[in-house]
Amino acid sequence: MSGESCHIIVFANEKGGTGKSTTAVHTGVALAAQGHKVAMLDLDPRQRTVTRYLENREETARRRGIDLPTPEFEVFTSTDDGALDAQYRALAERNEFLIIDTPGRDDAFAKYMAARAHTLVTPMNDSFVDFDLIGQVDAESFKVKRLSFYSELIFDARKARAKSDGITIDWVVLRNRLQHLEARNMRRVGEALNELSKRVGFRVIPGLSERVIFRELFPSGLTLLDKGQLGNLGFSHLAARQELREMVAGLALPSVEQAEAEAEMEQSAA
Ligand SMILES: Nc1ncnc2c1ncn2[C@@H]1O[C@H](COP(=O)(O)OP(=O)(O)OP(=O)(O)O)[C@@H](O)[C@H]1O
Ligand SMILES: [Mg+2]
């Protein structure tokens, strides 16, 4: 496999706690479960959320004596671009997908990898506090007033990339922790995002709803896709699994089956 054919997905948002690691790890496991060769590179050596999640997953597989589809994973701990370059290229060389999780702060290595992504995913909580990092809205009308520094940074990175190697980075803003009970806020954030998406050129996709299960699965490293390992799933967990599938489908990755037929069958059986 040549590094060139590996599809690189970077999860980045300078704001902390927006769901980068959670959505990254679920995407990685979903692709591995579909039989793809996937690697994850953790650029957050302090928190190591992705690494710890996948270590917990391997431990669960050992403890229960089962096979769990799991991406290959590594942490980046060095302090120079050259080492990062060598590490990500080696992973890209032997995998179809490379998923990179980045820390929630201004970080030179996150920018380095964002500029090399095929798909750049920016998860955000459905709140104007998170929105502020990509654009600022008017206090009365909620109309977008100006782009933020971060949007301009990504905008420039995309322009530079298109010029240097003709690749358009697919920038996807993923709405995480959606709360359907807060319909008015959800609509306002949605309208502001749609307006901004036309100006900056990102796509908006729905992510995961706010659900306790996404916090509870961490110690076992399991995901909602691990059928048969989670006990009897209630309706809300089946709905969450469907959301997860739609989130991965929304990323529109090359050669990824949509898994819709399977999901429909499951729904009609439920
Ligand atoms: N859909 C969800 N429902 C409920 N809790 C969630 C959901 N998504 C993420 N969380 C929780 O929100 C917190 C932040 O998520 P996560 O660690 O994935 O964010 P992050 O962007 O990687 O944070 P950081 O910037 O610190 O790396 C965690 O406690 C996680 O379990
Ligand atoms: Mg994280």
Task: Tell me which CATH code domain 3-269 carries.
Answer: 3.40.50.300
Between residues 196 and 45, the one the model is more confident about: 45
Looking at all shown ligands, the one closest to residue 105's CA atom is: 1
Residue 185's pLDDT is 86
Looking at all shown ligands, the one closest to residue 19's CA atom is: 1
Distance (angstroms) between ligand 2 centre and the Cα of 11 equals: 9
Which of 73-87, 116-130, 199-213, 230-244 is most confident?
A: 73-87
Residue 2's pLDDT is 61
21 lines ligand 1 (CB under 6 A): yes
Residue 98's pLDDT is 98
Distance (angstroms) between ligand 1 centre and the Cα of 237 equals: 18
Residue 138's pLDDT is 87
Residue 124's pLDDT is 93
Task: Give the model confidence (pLDDT) of 59-82 as tens digits.
Answer: 999 999 999 999 999 999 999 999
Between residues 231 and 94, the one the model is more confident about: 94
Residue 265's pLDDT is 45
Per residue, the 3-state secondary structure of the chain, as one string, reads CCHHHCEEEEECCCCCCCCHHHHHHHHHHHHHHCCCCEEEEECCCCCCHHHHHHHHHHHHHHHHCCCCCCCEEEECCCCCHHHHHHHHHHHHHCCCEEEEECCCCCCHHHHHHHCCCCEEEEEEECCHHHHCCCEEECCCCCCEEEECHHHHHHHHHHHHHHHHHCCCCEEEEEEECECCCCHHHHHHHHHHHHHHHHHHCCEEEECCECCCHHHHCHHHCCCCCCCCCCCCCCHHHHHHHHHHHHHHHHCCCCCCCCCHHHHHHHHHHC
Query: Of 10, 11, 15, 22, which is best to mutate to test ligand 1, by the most ligand atoms within 8 angstroms of its C-beta?
Result: 22
Number of CB atoms found within 10 A of residue 216's CB = 10
Domain layout of the chain by residue ranges: 3-269
51 lines ligand 1 (CB under 6 A): no
User: Does 268 score more than 60 pLDDT?
Assistant: no
11 lines ligand 1 (CB under 6 A): no
**Average pLDDT estimate for 172-197:** 88
48 lines ligand 1 (CB under 6 A): no
pTM across the whole model: 0.92
State the average pLDDT for the chain. Answer: 90
Distance (angstroms) between ligand 2 centre and the Cα of 185 equals: 25
**Average pLDDT estimate for 31-56:** 97
**Average pLDDT estimate for 185-199:** 89
219 lines ligand 1 (CB under 6 A): no
Task: Give the model confidence (pLDDT) of 99-148 as tens digits.
Answer: 999 999 999 999 999 999 999 999 999 888 888 888 888 888 888 888 88
Distance (angstroms) between ligand 2 centre and the Cα of 45 equals: 10
User: 244: pLDDT confidence band, cut at 50, 70 and 90?
Assistant: very high
User: Does 92 score more than 80 pLDDT?
Assistant: yes
Ligand 1 atom showing the smallest separation from residue 212 Cα = 4
Looking at all shown ligands, the one closest to residue 14's CA atom is: 1
* Cβ proximity of 83 and 64 under 8 Å: no
Distance (angstroms) between ligand 1 centre and the Cα of 123 equals: 10
User: 255: pLDDT confidence band, cut at 50, 70 and 90?
Assistant: confident
Q: How many residues does the chain have?
A: 270
Nearest C-alpha to atom 3 of ligand 1 is from which residue?
210
Ligand 1 atom showing the smallest separation from residue 101 Cα = 22
